Structure 1
Amino acid sequence: MTSDGTTPPADSTTPSDVPDPVTATADEHGTLTAWSPGAQRLLGYPAEAVLGRPASELLADSGDTFLQRLGRQRRWSGPIALRHQDGSEVTGELHARRRVAPTGTDWLLVWRDAHQEPPARGAFPISWCFQQVPSPLAVFDLDLRYVWTNDGEETALALTGDQLYGLRLAEAVPHPDSVRVEHAQRRVARTGRPEYLEAYVQVAGENREHSWTIHLAPLTDPAGRLIGVGFAAQDTTAQYEARQRLTLLNEAGTRIGTSLDIALTAQQLADLAVPRFADYACVDLLTGIEDGDEPPTTPVTGPVTLRRTAQRSILRGTPESSAGPGAALTVPEGGPALTWLAAPGPVLYQRDDPDLVRWAEQDPGQGARLRELGAHSVLAVPLRARGATLGSVLFVRHRRPDPFVHDDLLLAQELAARTAVCVDNARLYTLERTTAVTLQESLMPQRLAEQTAIEASARYLPASAQVGIGGDWFDVIPLSGARVALVIGDVVGHGVQASATMGRLRTAVRTLADIDLPPDELLTHLDDLVLRLTAESPDSDVQGDIGATCLYAVYDPVTRRCALARAGHLPPVICRPDGTVDFLDLPEGPPLGLGGLPFEAMEVELPEGTTLALYTDGLIERRDSDPDERLQALREALAEPAGSLQETCDTVMSTMLTSRHDDDVALLLARTRVLPAERVAVWEVADDPTSVAQARKDASAQLAEWGLDDLVFVTELVVSELVTNAIRYGEPPIRMRLIHDRALICEVQDSSSTAPHLKRARTYDEGGRGLLLVAQLTQRWGTRYNRNGKTIWAEQDLPDPSARPAFGDEPERGDGPG
């Protein structure tokens, strides 16, 4: 007996009484190409008698009526009369349908006798056949209770038809999707319209969840009254899993490699794989990869050290591994991880695989842990990019019952390939950034030289890794006359090119500062240099291809005057001793590299103890903040009390910056000092050769007062030469000045702009030996120009460090770029 109470036929091999169909085929020209036994029975023509002949010859009426009727239609039906072999006519109905066959277009012709009744279909045991269909089939009454099931439904639910009879689906399969199916059944029973839905559920007859495609249809009696709901389910797990793999692969393209951080890229793979693909995943990279080292292109041999870069588990605490992210793992010769690194593709281990057992014995830290957790399927894939081995990724299933199959291997290989390319891109970027940072730091001041004029402190912070190193720089340059130059600048762009350009500009600024150019003239020369660099670059047709901003300031501790000029840079901040903090209204010149526009200098007097703050735009500009608000925040940070400039730098950096910043940041703080009046001596010198002797006497007396008797002889020679040159070649007024700083400085100023030249006198020359003598007897000498003439100066090192100035505090050593 079957579930519907019918008895299957005794002889299941009895043929059915369905007659042979009357069919034929004709090509697009109407020539017969196929002839069925039914057609031979109907018209009496054997196949060999009609094949290759026009189909129109079989028509009872002559002519091309048949082809004319077909025309260009895809389907045609209608009554037609055919000629029997014995000459009689056979009337019936012809159905013609155009087909696209491998050899071209043809027609399928099906003929039915108009006077013949179709055979009774009830003679075929249809109900019994449906009972054996492997797909689950069921019939529910209008109360949504089981009234009939086939073997497929009973096998899936592990219940017999009698046990299912009268139950609802949610009672037979307690699952949220069953309730959803019942709601759909109720709608079908109410509206009479079929519905289609999908469910992912584990039924009692299966050991894991399956994907089911469910069709619900209304069932009616011969009178058309709705009497039940038909249920048909199809196991579409293979198609569902294929879609899931495709979805996962598609997500990998958008979720893996969103940054140029190697560890984050590896973690993105682990996060994507767990729990949708595996229960545990870990990524191990060869040591040095995270630092940008070149990976090996030859097969990896042991022993080798890997670094656990990322991992994830469905279990809390990641019990699958004793090593956390960042741990170094040493793989011995013959270890399983070495096999994965050298394998040409994925390596799969199933439960009780000898290699898996051996791994547990060799590596109790992870292999044994996986066995204890019930790992039954382990998939290892090497990470390779551009022919080099980067590491490996491990996928493990210990909670999901289904093992990895062939399609999973292909998916894992594709995920690993995409991740490997992203990791290698991040490695190359890390290498480039490390090179740029190293170049940048080597070109920056390693420490700020001690200055009498100022106490200085600085900070430099590269941009975040995703952006790349920029071209910010700062400098503190000692000048003649105990003065000091403060420089801060910013090159447009990021990377090695920006760092190299920064180095060239910093060198140029130091060179121009050595000839004591005023700030506005120095920026003009620097602008010309940037224009030449742009003209020499490959993209010289683009104006401003190389651009930069710069601020240059010169402070004189004797006069307490500071001259400043800027080229497109942000204005400096002045923090006065009384606690007031203001932005200096310094005229803004154009950025370097535009050319043709002048720069304007400004001179201000700074009280002793004033702090001058120079900074780059990376400290101010943020996408989510208003620039005015950021400037106000900088003002407030500089106004906070601090014990030292280093503490002020730290306060400013912590206040203004977050963990991620899109540009380099440079900050330079300089607190002014004043050279005491007793350390400076000034004399007016008459425009008369006889005044040279008096100048020597004045200098000697001043050195004796300062306790520098050891320098009297050389100083008298220097004074004689410089004063004599000023009287002979210069113009009055003439002034001589001695400065007792970290060195003894002798200066002679006149109103002429005529420059002296150092040359070697010939045997009979009467002059030309003076400046050569000065250059040989002193450590440094030079000429600086101003609007009122020139100053020739010479410096001598003090004979004893104890002879250094004792005024004020010893200058505090400034910070370097860190």
Structure 2
Amino acid sequence: MSERSLLEPSSRGNPELDPLFDQSPIAMVFLDRELRARRTNAAFRRLIGLPDEEIIGRRPSEANGLSIRYWATTRPIHWRTSDGTAWDERTLAEQVIGRGVPVVNMHVEWIRAGKRQVLSWSGYRVTENGRVLGALLCFIDFTDHAQTITQAHARLDLLERAGSQVGATLDIHHTARELADLAVPELADRISIDLLDQVLQGETPPRAGSGALRFRRVALRDSATNTKIRYEVDDLITLPVTSPHAVALLRGKPSLARNPAEVGGQFSDTPDVAEAFLARGVHTIMVMPLVARGVTLGVASFSRAEHPEPYGEADVRLVSDLASRAAVCIDNARLYTREHNMAVTLQRSLLPQRIPQVPGLRIAHRYEPATQTAEVGGDWFDVIPLDTGQVALVIGDVTGHGIHAAALMGQLRTTTAALARLGCPPEEIMRRLSDVVAEHDDEIGATCLYALYDPESRRCRFTSAGHLPPALRHPGGSVELIDVPGGMMLGVGPSRYPATDTELPEDSVLALYTDGLVEHPGQDIGTGMSDLARTLTASSARSLDQLCDSVLADLGAGARDDIALLLARTTAGTAR
């Protein structure tokens, strides 16, 4: 059989095989050893949009009149595999034709008439009686399939980033902003996140038929910086049950507007809002309910203006997955905020509501709960006047956080006051307190500092259960940390709690504090106590209240733990 009979329709031999080439739905082209096209089928000519006379006899790089990246360019042809490996005419000639190594399922991109296409092509060497004739290349257009794969990868990537970027803190507003930052501009040109005001207040969410709904806007992001559509962050929004927000929330299903007419129709009750959206260029809106653990928290509204494609079912599925993940994070923050507020309320209710005035001392105090990024602990203090004329100054810190720690703190404060009024010595009080803590679980403990002050002698007896030493500012301004023998923490086992006596000069200031004031991440606690001494020395405050404020301003900013601070200034008294 001659070479010509292989390159052109058969005139003898097996003419019935010609339709297999010409009628194949797979685009095919036969190249000779010089990479010149010798035969094409109809599928190939349709694929590249050229007749045979523009193809036959030319190499890929020699074809004219075609503005595509693959078959006709003024530069040599470049194929690129899915792993990024580049090919050109030389490698095609050397590998496929020269060495006979076939290529299977290699990908190539081209642009034709402004439209991107992705092709899968395979090529193998053609021989006859040991003689190399050329190579046959086969092409399949799988642009739609490739686009689906690309979109799937992009969606998985977005969901993966949502897992690491949304919910980094237990703050509702911050979590909502993280979702907004992730959505714009990849999913939307504008997003607003509105939570039910009842949910934010810790109340039960409303049910269908309950009338207008109250939303609080917690996050807003728009790719256009000069756009304003009525409501901003922190605004309270009251909407009728017919609004898209209410419909999506009450039905538990997304509300979708696919074109400008539907966008305008969604806001028929608020024509000014509809007008603002349309003026912004919004042509599609998706309102997605935020539901977590069976609780409907609010809605997220996604809209597109610059992005040309309307939202479709694939977008609904993606946003639904994204909203579900974000809703769980927002709900975690909501539950934490509720428990945090409950613990703060409980702790404040268990602390002294009024500090009594006692002879020989002026008292000032401060309590600062942990910030929203940390849990409330069990810091406490008390001032207990005794029938003997003495006064007990107490400060303590329960390890652990939350309501449990706050409840134990209240129990310790009540027990301390009762034992002190019964006349128990400080050492005995500490042992009793240790027994109280030991009755709780093994993972909790407490520290305590008990100071018994006699205004007549100005003598003060200190007993410590693992607590930080008190600071004493002398009338001249110098500060010393009083060395109190440290017994073991409360609740960790039997211990002795030795006492030490110190005379407090007139007009001196005694400072009792918890570790939240002096302990900071990445800093040795000794450095914090030195900073406290320096602040007490340098402060020009004229009153104890001003001194409290000065100490907290210098040392308490950004504290991650509770802070209790008790200052006592000695006043004139008759020494024995």
Q: TM-score range by the shorter chain?
A: 0.7 to 0.9
Return the alpha-carbon distance in structure 2 between the equivalents of residues 671 and 200 of structure 1. 82
> Higher relative CO (CA 8 A, sep ≥ 6), structure 1 or 2?
2
Residue in structure 2 matched with residue 299 of structure 1 by the alignment: 208
8 A Cα contact 1:259 1:466, kept in partner: yes
Deviation, 1:350, is 1.0
C-alpha separation between the residues in 2 aligned to 1:470 and 1:144?
Answer: 81
Whether the 8 Å contact between 1:289 and 1:295 is mirrored in structure 2 is yes
CA offset digits 1:607-663 (Å, max 9, x no partner): 11212111112223333222222222222222222223333323332333443x432
> 1: distance between equivalents of 2:534 and 2:485?
23
Correspondent of 2:481 among 573, 578, 583: 583
What SS does structure 1 have at the residue aligned with 2:242? coil
Q: Distance in 2 between matches of 1:505 and 1:496?
A: 14
- Aligned-partner Cα distance in 1 for 2:387–2:556: 37
Structure 1 363/525 Cα, relative in aligned 2: closer, same or farther at 3 Å? same
Contact 1:263 1:290 in 2 (8 A): no
Kindly indicate whether residue 555 of structure 2 is the aligned counterpart of residue 656 of structure 1: yes
Alignment CA distance shift 1:228-1:370 (3 Å): farther
Deviations 1:796-817 (A, max 9, x none): xxxxxxxxxxxxxxxxxxxxxx
| Cα deviation, residue 387, structure 1 | 3.4
Distance (whole Å) between structure 2 residues aligned to residue 136 and residue 418 of structure 1: 48
1:238 aligns with 2:148: yes
1:38-85 Cα offsets, whole Å, 9 max, x none, are xxxxxxxxxxxxxxxxxxxxxxxxxxxxxxxxxxxxxxxxxxxxxxxx
Show the counterpart of 2:306.
Answer: 399
Query: What amino acid is the match of 2:286?
Result: L
From 373, 384, 392, the counterpart of 2:280: 373
**Deviation digits for residues 381-421 of structure 1 (CA, Å, limit 9, x no counterpart):** 22223433221111112222222222222222222233333
Q: Superposition pairs for residues 79-478 of structure 1, below 5 Å?
A: 119=14, 123-124=18-19, 126=21, 128-129=22-23, 150-154=45-49, 164-165=64-65, 169=69, 184-186=86-88, 188-189=91-92, 192=95, 194=103, 204-206=113-115, 212=118, 215=121, 224=132, 234-235=142-143, 236-296=146-206, 298-299=207-208, 301-317=210-226, 319=227, 321-354=229-262, 356-364=263-271, 366-478=273-385
Aligned 8 A contact 2:117 2:141 in 1 = no
1:443 Cα deviation from its structure 2 partner: 0.9
What is the root-mean-square deviation in Å for CA atoms of aligned residues?
Answer: 4.0
8 Å Cα contact 1:576-1:609 kept in structure 2: yes
What's the TM-score, normalizing by structure 1? Answer: 0.59
Rounded to whole Å, the distance in 2 between the matches of 1:170 and 1:421 is 48
State whether structure 2 residue 491 is matched by structure 1 residue 593: yes
Residue of structure 2 in register with 1:714 after alignment: none
Q: Which one-letter code corresponds to 2:219 in the other structure?
A: A
Q: Partner of 1:558: helix, strand, or coil?
A: coil
| Aligned equivalents of 1:342, 1:624: Cα separation in 2 | 48
Residue identity in the other structure for 1:152: L
The 8 Å contact of residues 70 and 110 in structure 2, kept in 1 or not, is answered as no
Distance verdict in 2 for CA 1:499–1:455, change over 3 Å: same
Deviations 1:336-355 (A, max 9, x none): 3222222241221111444x
Q: Distance in 1 between matches of 2:304 and 2:28?
A: 30
CA distance in 2 between partners of 1:141 and 1:610 (Å): 103
2:525 aligned residue? 627
Q: Which residue of the partner structure matches residue 547 of structure 1?
A: 445
Q: Which runs of 5+ in 1 are unaligned?
A: 1-6, 10-15, 18-116, 683-818
Q: Distance between the aligned counterparts of 2:570 and 2:94, measured in 1? A: 90
Using a 3 Å threshold, how does the CA distance of structure 1 residues 141 and 381 change in structure 2: closer, same or farther?
farther
Deviation of the 1:306 alpha carbon: 0.8
Deviations 1:720-739 (A, max 9, x none): xxxxxxxxxxxxxxxxxxxx
Q: Distance in 2 between matches of 1:384 and 1:259?
A: 19
Judge conservation of contact 1:453–1:483 (CA < 8 Å) in 2.
Answer: no
Could you say which residue in structure 1 is the equivalent of 2:428? 521
Unmatched 5+ stretches in structure 2:
1-6, 97-102
Over 3 Å counting, the alpha-carbon distance change for 1:270 and 1:232 in structure 2 is: same
Cα distance change on mapping 1:383 and 1:183 into 2, 3 Å: closer
Structure 1 position 122, deviation (Å): 5.4
SS of match in other structure, 2:496: coil
What letter corresponds to residue 273 of structure 1 in structure 2? A
Aligned equivalents of 1:653 and 1:136: distance in 2? 80
1:172/1:251 CA distance change after superposition, 3 Å: farther
* Cα pair 1:609 1:671 within 8 Å, conserved: yes
SS at match of 1:655: helix
What is the CA–CA distance in structure 2 between the aligned matches of 1:507 and 1:211, rounded to whole Å?
78
Alpha-carbon shift at residue 438 of structure 1 (Å): 0.6
Residue 199 and residue 614 in structure 1: after superposition, are their counterparts in 2 closer, same or farther (change >3 A)?
farther
Q: Percent identity?
A: 35
- TM-score where L is the length of structure 2: 0.82
> What count of residue pairs does the alignment treat as equivalent?
542
The letter of the residue matching 1:247 is D
Q: Distance in 2 between matches of 1:656 and 1:140?
A: 83
Rounded to whole Å, the distance in 1 between the matches of 2:152 and 2:497 is 68
2:521 pairs with 1:615: no
Amino acid at match of 2:360: A
What does 1:398-797 correspond to in 2, within 5 Å?
Answer: 398-531=305-438, 533-534=439-440, 539=441, 544-643=442-541, 644-659=543-558, 661-676=559-574
Q: Which amino acid aligns with 2:161?
A: E
Distance 1:554 1:169, change over 3 A: same
Q: Residues 300 and 243 of structure 1: is their aligned pair in 2 closer, same or farther, counting only changes over 3 Å?
A: farther
Rate the CA distance shift 1:334–1:455 in 2: closer, same or farther, 3 A.
same
Please state how far the C-alpha of 1:179 moved relative to its aligned partner.
Answer: 10
Q: Secondary structure at the match of 1:435?
A: helix
Say if 1:507 and 1:179 are closer, same or farther in 2 by CA, change over 3 A: farther
- 2:169/2:175 contact within 8 Å kept: yes
- 1:773-805 deviation digits (Å, cap 9, x = unpaired): xxxxxxxxxxxxxxxxxxxxxxxxxxxxxxxxx
- 1:144 touches 1:168 (CA, 8 Å); kept in 2? no
Q: Does 191-200 or 566-575 show the bigger shift?
A: 191-200
Secondary structure of 2:87's aligned partner: helix
Quote the Cα distance in structure 2 between the aligned partners of 1:658 and 1:322.
Answer: 36
- Output the CA distance in 1 between the equivalents of 2:561 and 2:31: 69
The answer (yes or no) to whether the contact 1:381–1:392 under 8 Å persists in 2 is: yes
Partner deviation per Cα, 1:363-383 (whole Å, 9 max, x = no partner): 355432222233222111222
Q: Decide whether the 8 Å contact of 2:124 with 2:136 is kept in 1.
A: yes
Against the structure 1 CA distance between its residues 499 and 183, is the aligned structure 2 distance closer, same or farther, given a 3 Å change threshold?
Answer: closer
Q: Could you say if the C-alpha distance between residues 358 and 166 of structure 1 is closer, same or farther in structure 2, counting changes exceeding 3 Å? A: closer
- Give, in angstroms, the shift of residue 199 of structure 1: 8.3
Q: CA deviation at 1:569?
A: 0.8
